[in-house]
Amino acid sequence: MGNKLLRICTALLLVVGIAACSNGADSKDASSSNNYADGKAMQVIANGLEARWKLTDEFDSAGKDATASDYKDWINAELKIDKSLRNEKFKSSAMQKDVIDYINVLEESKTVVDKYPMSGLDFWTKWSETYDKRTALIKKFVDKYDLKVSKEYSKTLKELVDNGKAAQSQTEKKDAINALVSSLAWTTTDDGYGNYTLTATAQNNTKYNIKDLSIVLSIYDQNNVKQQETYTSVDSWKAGETIKLEAYAQSAPTRVESSVDYFDTSDE
């Protein structure tokens, strides 16, 4: 009887021990999952945006002209909050990359303010580039990760998302047309007297109707040394249309690389 009771007690203790270990493991897993930043990242981004917008709203109310120092204050207000995410752990590597890309764009925009005088064209060109990259990421945060801000700033967020949509569309156009132009295969005809005609026949395999396309051709010799650059242009190249392009050179090319100098598109 005594041995039987002892065996029962031992079994009960073993069950209790296993349950305790199981609960401990579950707690550990839950605690570990709480270490990821995925759940709080968009709130941190929203807090950074609202801190920035609070400053810009105060500035707008004052009716002053913005200085480089003002621009840096606005960026720093956001960076101060967002930069904590740089060293956080994320469960989603895609979200982590997007968040770090956003922090990098903020730092890049600060570099633009430090490097270029606001009175020059270079500043506004570079500032627009970083603004487009930043708003494209904000659009992604809204679409992919459900970024939300306070009601008082919802209109401001929408304006940035709308710009991000336009910037994303322009980037897609640029990438598609750059790929088309760089893929052009050029043949050379010796016209005599050191003159050469370069021709390429290609189909516009993008979904865009191209107009006012300017192409620069880099001419390389057998030693892979660039001898000259020449240009050609297209007034109209509709999606799906095949055209013949011509350019002229004073050097016999061993290799020709073509790239976009300028382009525009049409909805027609």
pLDDT in tens, 125-168: 999 999 999 999 999 999 999 999 999 999 999 999 999 999 99
What's the pLDDT score for residue 268? 74
What's the pLDDT score for residue 33? 53
What percentage of residues in the chain have a pLDDT greater than 70? 87
Is pLDDT of 86 > 90?
Answer: yes
What percentage of residues in the chain have a pLDDT greater than 90? 81
Average pLDDT over residues 84-97: 96
What's the pLDDT score for residue 8? 45
Q: What is the pLDDT confidence band of residue 32, given thresholds at 50, 70 and 90?
A: very low
Could you give phi then psi for residue 51, rounded to 5 degrees? Answer: -65, -40
Neighbour tally for 81: CB within 10 Å: 18
Greater confidence (26 vs 156) lies with: 156
What is the C-alpha separation between 65 and 80, in angstroms, rounded? 24
Alpha helices in 64-194 (DSSP H): 68-82, 93-115, 121-145, 154-182
Is pLDDT of 112 > 70?
Answer: yes
What's the pLDDT score for residue 30? 41
> What is the overall mean pLDDT for the chain?
89
Strands 209-220 and 255-266: antiparallel
**H or E segment to which residue 195 belongs:** strand 195-203
What's the pLDDT score for residue 16? 43
Q: What is the pLDDT confidence band of residue 31, given thresholds at 50, 70 and 90?
A: very low
What's the pLDDT score for residue 7? 55
Which one-letter DSSP state was computed for residue 250?
A: S
CA distances from 248 to 61, 75, 212 (A): 58, 49, 19
What's the pLDDT score for residue 23? 53
Average pLDDT over residues 89-107: 97
pLDDT digits (tens, 9 = 90+) for 173-184: 999 999 999 999
Greater confidence (117 vs 13) lies with: 117
Q: Distance between alpha carbon 48 and the CA centroid of its chain, in Å? A: 19
* 174 contact partners, CB below 8 Å, separation of at least 6: 260, 263
Average pLDDT over residues 213-235: 96
| Surface-to-core class of residue 257, CB atoms within 10 Å of its CB (0-12 exposed, 13-18 middle, 19+ buried) | middle
Q: What is the pLDDT confidence band of residue 34, given thresholds at 50, 70 and 90?
A: low
Is pLDDT of 195 > 90?
Answer: yes
What's the pLDDT score for residue 73? 96
Q: What is the pLDDT confidence band of residue 12, given thresholds at 50, 70 and 90?
A: very low
Greater confidence (18 vs 189) lies with: 189
This prediction's pTM: 0.71
Give the chain's domains with CATH numbers: 38-170 (no CATH), 183-266 (2.60.40.10)
